Amino acid sequence: MPKASEIKRGHVVEINGALYIANQVDVKSPSARGAATLYKIRFNQVPGGRKHEETYVGDDFVQDVQLERRKVSFLYKEDDQYTFMDLEDYSQYSINADAIEAQLPYLMDGMEGITALLVDGLLITVELPGTVVMEIIETVPGMKAASATGRNKPARFATGLEIPVPEYLEAGQKVKINTETGKFLSRA
């Protein structure tokens, strides 16, 4: 069992019989003599996504879960089931759309660089790469003099994702998007 001070982002633990993945870890060191360092950890339940927050002292133990990380690629979607293929042994894992709702706007056919998180051989969630390259399919026409301004306009992508992009971009151009923040980064 790891101590609370060893928990990092992406670590999966068990709290009250449910699985949670560490999303954010805040460390606070009180200035009083003899005071213990506090670890405020924000968790997301997997599957489900329900948020949970706990504060631990550095020596508190947390119930660890045996987690396996496998490199997978996205194969196909059938109804509400998303199927991924292991890149090493070609086994397939399916998961319900509700369990990966936050990742769906960035998920494209044949996408690689995805990490599957498995507990006892069962897929509980997927981790996407930090950035993805997507093609703009629809946006309002840009102005010719827009390069000197910092204004944004909405752009829509094939997955249904809609984010603000700089005014000079047009439909058909590929852009890099941060999958954690959902923000435009650059042209691809």
Convert the pLDDT of each residue in 134-161 to its tens digit. Answer: 999 999 886 665 555 678 889 999 989 9
pLDDT at 102: 81
Specify the CATH class of 4-64 in words.
mainly beta
> Sorting pLDDT into bands at 50, 70 and 90, what band is 125?
confident
Average pLDDT over residues 78-86: 90
Pinpoint the residues of the chain covered by CATH 2.30.30.30. 4-64
Average pLDDT over residues 58-74: 86
> Sorting pLDDT into bands at 50, 70 and 90, what band is 45?
confident
Tokens of 14: 């068990």
Question: Token pair 């059938």 is at which residue?
Answer: 78
Length of the chain: 188
Mean pLDDT of the chain: 84
Superfamily of the domain at 68-127: Nucleic acid-binding proteins (2.40.50.140)
Helices (H), the chain: none
E runs forming strands in the chain: 12-15, 18-28, 38-45, 51-57, 63-64, 68-78, 81-86, 92-96, 114-119, 122-127, 131-139, 152-157, 162-166, 174-178, 184-187
pLDDT in tens, 4-25: 778 887 788 888 888 888 877 8
> How many degrees, rounded to 5, is the angle at CA 120 between CA 116 and CA 122?
45
> Sorting pLDDT into bands at 50, 70 and 90, what band is 172?
very high
How far lies 168's CA from each of 67, 140, 174, in Å? 44, 10, 13
Rounded to two decimals, what is the model's pTM? Answer: 0.71
Specify the CATH class of 131-187 in words.
mainly beta
Pinpoint the residues of the chain covered by CATH 2.40.50.140. 68-127, 131-187
Do the beta carbons of residue 82 and residue 99 sit within 8 Å? Answer: no
pLDDT at 137: 94
